[in-house]
Amino acid sequence: MPNPRLTGLGCGLFCAAVMIVLGCLTRLLFGASPTVYGVLFLPVCLLSAVWVRKGDLTSAPVVVPIAFAAGMIFVADSGDGFGGRVVGLVTALATEAGWLYGGTLVAGVIVTVRKVRLMARRRAAAVAARRVTG
């Protein structure tokens, strides 16, 4: 498994690009099924939270909902004109909020666990350094 380290911006671009591609593929292959799109959203959230670098951990739970909305543009049913598209997108986001919350929760939990482990390692290193010098 590759182990890239994405910056906050890179994480956002990765999420948005993948979700837009998945939205288009869902429309073409599954007839714009929001459930399929939601299921595909969860691994993207997981990868984003795992691949973001340590200094940008807080960006993962922020960018995944934005990416979900970006890809949902292609999955949502739309009416005529700009207004119809907006109403279709807002309706799809409201009806598929469970997937959105679930993916954001996945990213948030992974990022929190990574941050706690990072803080514990730093604390252990500080204690070890005090023992050596003190």
Length of the chain: 134
pLDDT at 75: 94
CA-angle at 47, arms to 96 and 111, nearest 5°: 90
By CB atoms closer than 10 A (0-12, 13-18, 19+), residue 113 is exposed
Consecutive sets of 10 residues in the chain, 134 residues long: mean pLDDT of each?
84 96 95 94 96 93 96 89 92 94 97 95 92 81
- CA distances 34 to 4, 28, 46, 64, 91, Å, are 29, 12, 19, 16, 11
Q: What does the alpha-carbon distance between residue 36 and residue 57 come to, in Å, rounded to a whole number?
A: 27
Q: How does DSSP classify residue 6?
A: B
